[in-house]
Amino acid sequence: MNVEQGPDTGYRIPDTGHSSPRPDSPELAERAHYWRSAYVHIPFCARRCPYCDFAVVAADEAGGSDTQRYVDALVAEIGMESDSSELHAINFGGGTPTRLHPDALAQIIGALDTQFSIEDDAEISIEANPEDWTPALADDLRRIGFNRVSFGIQSFDPVVLEALGRVHSPRDALEAFTAARAADFTTVSIDLIYGTPAETDESWHATVERAIGLGPDHLSAYALTVEGGTVLSRAVRGGAPEPDPDEQADRYEYLDQVAQSAGLIRYEVSNWARPGHACRYNLSTWMMGEFSAFGTGAHDSRNGVRARNIRRLDAYLKHVEAGTRPRSGSERLGEFESERERFMVGLRLAAGVLPGVIGSPFIMSDEGRRLTDAGVIAVRNGRVVVLRPLLTDLVARSVLSVSPGDC
């Protein structure tokens, strides 16, 4: 890593000389601002999970089986990009990226390399479901360049898995993890979901112990959230039990304690990692780094413009095949709005956020003082840090009280 000079802030990124900085270190976070990354969305899934509100096409839905047409469109879309900066991180998300054949994935990575060129030690990450994972697939993915995988394990309790509409077994999860390790992925990550109404304290504790016991390099844990327009939200409206926020808080705190004592350091509200294994792609987007995004419903952020792609598969394909970028909208943020976003998203990081123009008026405001007195926020090493990550949104809403006139 070279020493870089930040042109706009003048902030000098120190070169620590370590190859494995702590994931929650402020230096790492500040460095991440200068990383350039790309996101590729693969919408295909075997079926729709009841809680999922992403741009997804199930196999039995229109266009759900014509994956090659989509891959060609992706390659074409990548070729429409005007930028060609070197990529430091690439993330394949979905949907289920492994619904594509490794050759197709290789074709997309090739297109990215042609357009941008990919750094030698770039993080190339893929999301995968345990039931799709085989040693052969692991080897193929390694061979075409993937070095990070995150498994949607969600739980080790079959009852919870069924409630979540997941079809893999705890055994599938175990085998997938072992296969990824054998294939020598640099980072193997586990995704968990907590607070499903079917879950009990005991089942969660068992899930946490089994997950941590596998020795993952990285862990993401998300509270089950009822998103509008999902099967889950319809069920809740129909009287099905809703996730309980206090129970979710219990689950979170339990996990955090077990994870941290196993050497997984929390670096964002819902993410833990061993030193050297923080997700570069996510970290850079949280730090307002620039990223390109391709595929249905993908959002990117470049030169102060946030743009989003068409979500519907057929419309996306039509646009790309007609030779136009499949945009559904874009937005140039004002100076204060982008500063607000930087600050509010930065609050999610354990490293905290540099105060900028908003930090001081916020800390000095009535709400800022109250939050400080209550031990929710603090100023540490010149950064504003949320000490109680579960209250991050409450803090973020308080930040909204700061207006440009206060700065």
Partner 1 sequence: MTAPSRIRNFSIIAHIDHGKSTLADRLLERTGAISERDMREQVLDEMDLERERGITIKANAVRIDYEASSGEKYQFNLIDTPGHVDFSYEVSRSLEACEGAVLVVDASQGVEAQTLANAYMAIEEGLEIIPVVNKIDLPAADPDRAAAELAGVLGGTADEVIRVSAKTGVGIDELLEAIVDRLPPPEGDEDAALRALVFDSFYDTYRGVVSHVRVVDGSIATRQPIRFMATDLDVDADELGIRRPSTEAVQRLGTGEVGYLITGVKEIDLIRVGDTVTHATNGSFEALPGYQEPKPMVFSGLFPTDGDDFERLREALDKLRLNDSSLVFQAETSRALGFGFRVGFLGLLHMEIVRERLEREYDLELVATAPSVAYRANLTSGQQIPVRSPQDLPDVSSLDSIEEPFVKVMIITPSEFIGTVMELVQQRRGEMGEMTYLSPERAELHYRIPLAEIVFDFFDQLKTRTRGYASLDYEPDDYQESDLVRVNILLNGLPVDAFSTIVHREKAYTYGKAMVERLRELIPRQLFDVPIQAAIGTRIISRETIKARRKDVTAKCYGGDITRKRKLLERQKAGKRRMKMVGQVEVPQEAFVAALKLET
Task: Tell me the helices (H) and strands (E) count for the chain, helix number first.
Answer: 15, 16
The Cα–Cα gap between 188 and 21 comes to 18
The Cα–Cα gap between 307 and 48 comes to 26
Element (H, E) at 368: helix 366-373
- Output the smallest distance, CB 142 to partner 1, in A: 25
The Cα–Cα gap between 112 and 292 comes to 10
Longest dimension (CA), the chain: 59
Contact 279, 265 (CB under 8 A): no
Give the interface with partner 1 as residue ranges (CB under 8 A).
Answer: 39, 222-223, 225, 245-246, 248-249, 252, 268-270, 281-282, 284-286, 291, 293, 298-301, 306, 308, 331, 333, 337, 340-341, 344-345, 348, 366, 370-371, 374, 376, 389-394, 396-397, 400-401
Closest CB to partner 1 among 169 and 225? 225
- Output the smallest distance, CB 19 to partner 1, in A: 25
The Cα–Cα gap between 194 and 182 comes to 28
- Output the smallest distance, CB 314 to partner 1, in A: 21
- Output the smallest distance, CB 225 to partner 1, in A: 6
Nearest residue to 338 (alpha-carbon basis) of 388, 288, 379: 288
- The CA distances from residue 306 to 292, 341, 393, in Å, are 10, 12, 22
DSSP per-residue string spanning 229-263: TSHHHHHHHTTPPPPPHHHHHHHHHHHHHHHHHTT
- Output the smallest distance, CB 348 to partner 1, in A: 6
- Output the smallest distance, CB 135 to partner 1, in A: 30
Place of tokens 């996730």: 243
CB atoms within 10 A of CB 218: 24
Closest CB to partner 1 among 59 and 357? 357
Closest CB to partner 1 among 41 and 140? 41
- Output the smallest distance, CB 308 to partner 1, in A: 7
Closest CB to partner 1 among 164 and 269? 269
Closest CB to partner 1 among 138 and 399? 399
Closest CB to partner 1 among 96 and 284? 284
DSSP per-residue string spanning 127-174: EE-GGG--HHHHHHHHHTT--EEEEEEE-S-HHHHHHTT----HHHHH
Closest CB to partner 1 among 140 and 290? 290
- Output the smallest distance, CB 60 to partner 1, in A: 27
Closest CB to partner 1 among 187 and 248? 248
- The CA distances from residue 331 to 299, 302, 368, in Å, are 11, 11, 30
